[in-house]
A and B are shown apart, each in its own frame.
Chain A
Amino acid sequence: MDRDDLPFYADRTPGVEEHEPTANVLSYTVGFALAVLATIASFVVAETDLLWPPGIAVGLVVLAIAQIGVHLVFFLHLGSGPESTNNILALTFGVLIVFLVIAGSLWIIANLDANMMPMPVH
């Protein structure tokens, strides 16, 4: 029998109450508004001299991290609830690996680059 053909209640573990949606239209709308604000701020920072020019890259990274946080909380619903515990632990491990891959690559290659013999310009 196909899993799909089981009756509705077969999906639930006995004793577990019907799932209450945690999200609502308001939380999605708030998240969307915050994400739009962060996006516009990023483009404004990049295209104007609003920030001290050498600090633009740092400002952009900060805005990107803020927007990713907004997406995680309002769209992916990572919260402080007990159902989020495992997902947040997995996310933390993922962020560690992503950090190691990106920062490690930049560090190693910059080091190699600095130790290269000067090459003739074509």
Chain B
Amino acid sequence: MATIGAVPIDLARGRGGGGPAPTRIVVAYGFWIFILSDMVMFSALFAAYAVLSGNTAGGPTGAELFDLRNVFIETMCLLLSSYTAGLGALSAERRQPGRFLIFAGLTFVLGAAFLFIEITEFAGMVRQGAGPSRSAFLSAFFTLVGTHGAHVAMGLLWLIYLVAQVIVKGLRPAVLRRLLCFSLFWHALDIVWVGVFTLVYLMGVQ
């Protein structure tokens, strides 16, 4: 068999051999580029937070505001929902709609629990006068964590839409590709959250 380096030419699509890549590879690649551009946007918010986190203008600091127990529960919800989203994507690929719907439901409930805890935390902070207008630190905090929360909320709406598509249209290739994009998006949000809980919460209470 002909090879490019050590790779058989049939498998070397990414390097120009073996003809065009299958649609799902192309779609996943395009969506991956979108995710990376989203990461670049988050990096600007992380940089702003890192620069401004000390500027509390006499207001409360992270150590006074953050409750690590809550953050741990939030983190576990999101991580578990990433896991169930992965298992859901797997059941969809194996054409098991029943299992897919169970895992999609679990993903939705865990994502919603994450969002609920976050909104409760935000509301509590605003109530004690630590809203986004209090200091540069809090503006940066609400922008960074709020943008991540908005992504999670959009992901939940997207998941409802996809479940409706699976129910109406079934697990056909076009729907499977959309599910693939959704699971990429959901896992990427978890990666951003790793940055948030490390930089904002765990380093913020030191």
Contacts and interface: CB of A to CB of B under 8 A. Distances in A.
Contacts of B83: 28-29, 31-32
A118 interface: no
A4 B177 CA distance: 11
Given A28-B83, A46-B202, A101-B43, A13 B50 contact: no
Interface stretch (B5-13, B123-131, B146-154): B5-13
B190 A75 contact: yes
A45 B76 CA distance: 17
Nearest to A38: B194
Contacts of B32: 87, 90-91
B19 interface: yes
B13 A82 contact: yes
B76 A39 contact: yes
Interface in A34-61: 35-36, 39, 42-43, 45-47, 56-57, 60-61
B93 A71 contact: no
Nearest to A109: B51
- Chain B's interface size range is 35 or more
A85 B190 CA distance: 23
B160 interface: no
Contacts of B188: 76
Contact of A15 (B19, B89, B197): B19
Interface residues of A, number: 55
Interface of A: 3-4, 8, 11-13, 15-16, 19, 21, 23-25, 28-29, 31-32, 35-36, 39, 42-43, 45-47, 56-57, 60-61, 63-64, 67-68, 71-72, 75-76, 82-83, 85-87, 90-91, 93-94, 97-98, 101-102, 104-106, 109, 122
Given A8-B173, A36-B76, A46-B203, 11 more contacts: A12-B22, A16-B22, A19-B22, A19-B24, A25-B87, A46-B202, A75-B190, A83-B14, A102-B43, A105-B51, A109-B51
17 contacts: A11-B23, A11-B173, A12-B22, A24-B90, A28-B87, A39-B75, A47-B68, A57-B203, A57-B206, A64-B195, A82-B11, A93-B36, A94-B40, A98-B43, A105-B50, A106-B51, A122-B58
Minimum-distance CB pairs A-B, first 4? A94-B36, A105-B47, A11-B173, A46-B202
